[in-house]
Each structure stands twice: as structure tokens, then as C-alpha cells.
Amino acid sequence: MRHSACCLSRNLFQLVNNLPQKGTGYRVKRANWPEGQFWELTTVRPSVDGAHGDAWGVAYAEGSQAAEAPRKVRSTLKGGWQITGDPPSSTPGRVNWKRVVNLKAACRSLTPAAASETKS
């Protein structure tokens, strides 16, 4: 392998190190995998140097989810990882608590009105 090809081939942690939340929520795949086969990252714990670590995610094969629970991603230190698909639309792991409180308040305000309508 030529030096230039070697430098372009990054492992998973080098790829996601500068992404928001270290790549959590992104879909990644190896360059030699077929279309529709990828991992959706759920947890990424890089080492201090950013070149090693542990990653977990949900595997997809032929575009459909292959397993229910997240599993540890294998071959993370091999080169050739790439991001596939669009970036996640919202930041995973964060809850907009103001929206949750507003939704709960809206539900409470609807409950008495709905109860009075059913009694009539």
C-alpha cells in the first residue's frame, strides 16, 4: 500500500473524533461493504489520543435493522471507515425538557375538557 493511500485510510475513531458527540447517531460503514450495510453509532468512547477506544451501535444489513439491542462495533481500528447517509437531524442523547413540560401541561389541560365532553 502506498503511503498516500495509507494516510487516507482512517480508523473509526479518527473518522468520528471531530464530529458532534464523537459520532453518536451517525451511520458509518467500511469502504468495502455493500450498499445498505452499516452501523448506526449509539455510544463512542475514544481514548485520550483519539485513535483507539470502544464503540457500540445498531447493525443494519440490506437497509433493515439486523439486531434490536446495540452491540460492540468490531474492526474499529482497521482503516477504510466512512460516513454514509445524512447526519442525524437532532443531537442524540439530549432531551428538550421545556418541550416535555409543555407537552405534559397541554395534556393536562385537555384531560378535563375531554372528560366533561364525554359526560354530556
Does 85 fall in a domain?
A: yes
For 12-58, the pLDDT digits (tens) are: 999 999 888 889 999 999 999 999 999 999 999 999 988 899 999 99
The SS3 of residue 34 is coil
Q: How many Å apart are CA 118 and CA 109, to the nearest integer?
A: 15
For 90-110, the pLDDT digits (tens) are: 555 555 555 555 666 666 666
More confident residue, 46 or 4: 46
Q: How many Å apart are CA 106 and CA 86, to the nearest integer?
A: 33
Host domain of residue 85 = 3-92
- Which pTM value belongs to this model? 0.66
44 within 8 A of 16, measured Cβ to Cβ = yes
Does 54 fall in a domain?
A: yes
Does 118 fall in a domain?
A: no
Indicate whether 3 pLDDT > 80.
Answer: no
How many structural domains is the chain composed of? Answer: 1
Q: What pLDDT is attached to residue 7?
A: 47
Does 58 fall in a domain?
A: yes
